[in-house]
Structure 1
């Protein structure tokens, strides 16, 4: 099936980047625009200023669903990322642009029986043509959901990948079943903490590079829980706490007077008076770090919330 406006499609590459417009991309973005994008090379090629270019909106993971709203003759698709809530932008999901070649038509609904849904628990893994064989899709990231294609064999799990008729194989140890119960906040914190040291990328939503709200979104996605993509929407859909009532795994939100929320961090330790610590993707340090809030952060802290 071909892509069609008004119909859903799925991401066929390990990580697809969502752009503000086709005209906004820069020469440095070329590796991320390829039919088979090289996201690590893209990130490695950027300087500090390019890492925070606002032409990037978000990223989508292998198998993630989108609604196609426009197809351009030059190969660009306008889409709505329906698995990334963005109420202030579009009630259907996060809108943006990406190369149409990075999408595949949505597969038909499964027949009888419910195939197992598996989640990548490794920071990065690869899908192989055969057990122990050559990698076919490298760079599959934490939180990616895959459909099982049968029983594991000798430590390798067959899975389906969008746009490919035959199963591929992932190391069984890199996958876990999609959880059926809501996780405790400290479990989500533990996943986010595994990304400590990861490079900050504006709009990043993968274990190749990530931003502050992306870290929150991805950590909860690992457990099958969908939260909004942006920090202000995350604040609007979580429960405010009284000062001092926060626990590890809760969220700190930050905003300047009269402005909307611009930053989020994950509470990393029990607070003791004014002594707080958080794990966050830091715009200033360009890394995911665990630290006490800086003086500027303290001055702009507007509250702690619980998901």
Structure 2
């Protein structure tokens, strides 16, 4: 079945990148455009300037739903990422372009309760301990179980594959019925320390500040918006001083919209010392640190999910 505008599809690669336009992609982006993406290879091939190019809008995970709005003859599809709220861009979700062969028609809803990848990175295999079919499946990816575990491996359904694929049972977790605690979300985000900063990134291979927050909550089935200013609108403001680990710090310059977000990692100390975990544009990685003076100067609020 071919993709059709007006109908939903799902991502069939481990991580798909959402682009500003087909014409915006660069030669260095080739590993991210393939029918079997190589996101680690793509990131390792970029220099520090290319890592923050604004041609990348976001990323989508295996099985993530999109609404197809256009399919071009040259193999590109315009989609709305309906699982990544972006109210200021489109009330339906985050819009952008990706290669059409990274999508598969959406399967009929079958009532299967999804599970979620809890390993930072994993791979899907043809059989228990068999050859890798789909590498680079990351934390937060939802997969439908295809049967009981066998010898420590679990079969799952994967878009674009007729037969079940397998991954270690220890790499999967059930989605919780109740909202996660802030401590649980922070613990997931802490596992992404030292991940490279990539503008628009939402993966364990490269991530940006709002992507880190989106992915940490996504691991528990909580759908937060994709961008920091929308995340501020979707969360509850606190009086500065009332924040606790797992809450969020937001940053903006005078008269400008919010441009940065971090996750609170400690209660504020006397004197106003504050700490956060964030994907840092300047240091090009995820790190935990005390807020330096220039961050304190642009801190505009603390919020709670």
Which range, TM-score by smaller chain?
A: over 0.9
Q: Which runs of 5+ in 2 are unaligned?
A: none
Q: How many Å separate the matches in 2 of 1:275 and 1:146? A: 41
How does the TM-score come out when normalised to structure 1?
A: 0.98
Structure 2 residue 285 is matched with structure 1 residue 306: no
Q: Which runs of 5+ in 1 are unaligned?
A: none
Deviation at 1:109, TM superposition (A): 2.1
Q: How many Å separate the matches in 2 of 1:33 and 1:295? A: 40
- The equivalent residue for 1:258 is 255
Q: How many Å separate the matches in 2 of 1:23 and 1:296? A: 36
- 1:15-30 matched pairs, under 5 angstroms: 15-30=15-30
- The equivalent residue for 1:31 is 31
Residue 146 of structure 1: which of 134, 143, 146 is its match?
143
Deviation at 1:163, TM superposition (A): 1.1
- The equivalent residue for 2:172 is 175
Deviation at 1:116, TM superposition (A): 3.2
Q: Is the 8 A contact 2:58 2:200 kept in 1?
A: yes
Residue 123 of structure 1: which of 109, 116, 120 is its match?
120
How does the TM-score come out when normalised to structure 2?
A: 0.99
- The equivalent residue for 2:187 is 190
- The equivalent residue for 1:277 is 275
Q: Secondary structure at the match of 1:305?
A: strand
Q: Is the 8 A contact 2:197 2:284 kept in 1?
A: yes
Q: How many Å separate the matches in 2 of 1:288 and 1:24? A: 26
Deviation at 1:237, TM superposition (A): 1.0
Q: Secondary structure at the match of 1:18?
A: strand
Give the ranges of 4+ consecutive aligned residues of structure 1 lying more than 3 Å apart after TM superposition. none
- The equivalent residue for 2:57 is 57
Q: How many Å separate the matches in 1 of 2:218 and 2:67? A: 19
Deviation at 1:115, TM superposition (A): 2.1
Cα distance per residue 1:72-106 (max 9 Å; x no partner): 00000000000000000000000000000000000
Aligned length: 304
Q: How many Å separate the matches in 1 of 2:114 and 2:296? A: 41
